A and B are shown apart, each in its own frame.
Chain A
């Protein structure tokens, strides 16, 4: 175990014409660390996520990732082939809407197996056994393996999407509102599952959410964004219990109490 970070982000900015997507965002992410990015809609948190996952190229700034061989590589200088390879082996991306991250017209088993086949696995029996294993880890019954995700509920689809992303043993997972649009009991189970998986696998994750409770449960560290800028960052408990920036104080005090 080294003390070196997994991901180093420095002065990342993205402008959409004259509008600011995100401005001067810098942070380090350690292996196994979960960072929550919170803020209201339009604060630039999804822009940050998309830039880091190379789905979007930033206007300026750098991000370097420590590859499995220990070498830092700058994300925006890699070739597209390398980036896409990274994306389907060492990284995962969990979309808010599972339909964006799943192939809705192929079976659950094939959804989980796709990444394995993409990296060259050519043994049907082994691929299927791995798929069965992963479905059980995300609490989907084995007999649903040949069903299409269209036949799944929202919570099941989200769990399937997580399995599909984790099957190649990634080290870094990006999550965009992973519990958005789910009702609270389903949300609770999903969070429980995610927390277990992240701890068991030692995953590093960047979770974008507007739900502070999700951030509290999942993350160790937190970054609060407003208008494309980071207004406050620190340990999650510290930020939520002792918010310093006026905007964070407003955000924390806006949580509805039941």
Chain B
């Protein structure tokens, strides 16, 4: 008897997976459209990725290789727990290597390593409605999507420029998918927005509490909204990663001591480790350690 005997494969029952797959297929057919689905209770609290876990559970098969990241890192609580969860309930192979994963469940980052055709990126989404903070009524926002009334989205960007002199939205930056639906790319930094554009990988978005699934099929146009005189631009960093000296990657600030010491390191831990294995060294990287005796 194996560990998985007490659960149905991948935790969810087959009827539920079927229902979620239908929602996913509809989402793929209408890129960027939020498809309602009957979200289930999962053995974790809302806000911890219940939507993403249900999507992953519905598409995962015994041959899949799963990678889970939380803010880019493979070794944080959320990532470790979800990886262990699927190892237990689906008995699938897990990895931290972006290139060899077939399904990557992510909380708020797109890996630095370019995704390839055949890979699926599953986003955990807290609030799927990009218009939510501008228009609180769901009935009204659904109508606005249906009638393509997106002037309000630019009101938000206008407010940014009026207050800060530039578009200060740095994450959950609204995008227009295939020239039709305005979509919230989940709270990924806007640094990752260009990676969504014409990505060869399938991108699925699951919001468990809000009970919505949406999708961006491979090679779909994803355009960040902006103004003609204030074009969209991504964050830039003054210095490379302190550990692997990578440039043009998204960096996290890490506090080192109580005296204001800090460093900027890759948010994508897998990318950073791979680079260090290849011999790249940042100015704060530890010396090469001797192999253990």
Contacts and interface: CB of A to CB of B under 8 A. Distances in A.
Interface string B225-236: 011111000000
Given A122-B228, A124-B227, A125-B229, A117 B158 contact: yes
Q: How large is the interface on B (under 10, 10 to 19, 20 to 34, 35 or more residues)?
A: 10 to 19
A110 B159 contact: yes
Contacts, number: 55
A19 interface: no
Contacts of A145: 162
Interface string B125-165: 00000000010000000010001010110111011011100
A175 to B, nearest CB: 23
B227 A107 contact: no
Contacts of A103: 134, 155
A106 B149 CA distance: 18
Contact of A117 (B147, B151, B163, B229): B151
A113 to B, nearest CB: 6
Nearest to A127: B158
Interface in A83-122: 84, 88, 103, 106-107, 109-110, 113-115, 117-119, 122
A146 interface: yes
Given A80-B147, A107-B162, A113 B155 contact: yes
A118 B158 contact: no
Interface string B153-186: 0111011011100000000000000000000000
Nearest to A81: B147
A110 B155 contact: yes
Interface string B95-136: 000000000000000000000000000000000000000100
A68 interface: no
A14 to B, nearest CB: 22
Contacts of A125: 229
Contacts of B159: 106-107, 110
Interface in B194-231: 226-230
A124 B229 CA distance: 6
Contact of B151 (A80, A109, A118, A123): A118
B151 A115 contact: yes
A146 B155 contact: no
A109 B149 contact: no
B151 A119 contact: yes
Contact of A146 (B156, B163, B229): B163
A46 B155 CA distance: 30
Contacts of A84: 147, 149
B154 A122 contact: yes
Given A103-B155, A122-B228, A110 B162 contact: yes
Contact of A114 (B147, B155, B226, B229): B155
B158 A109 contact: yes
A-B pairs with the 7 shortest C-beta distances? A118-B151, A117-B154, A124-B227, A117-B151, A123-B228, A81-B147, A110-B158
8 contacts: A81-B147, A106-B156, A110-B155, A117-B152, A117-B155, A118-B151, A122-B154, A122-B226
Given A81-B147, A106-B155, A124-B228, 9 more contacts: A109-B162, A114-B151, A118-B151, A118-B152, A119-B151, A124-B227, A124-B229, A145-B162, A146-B162
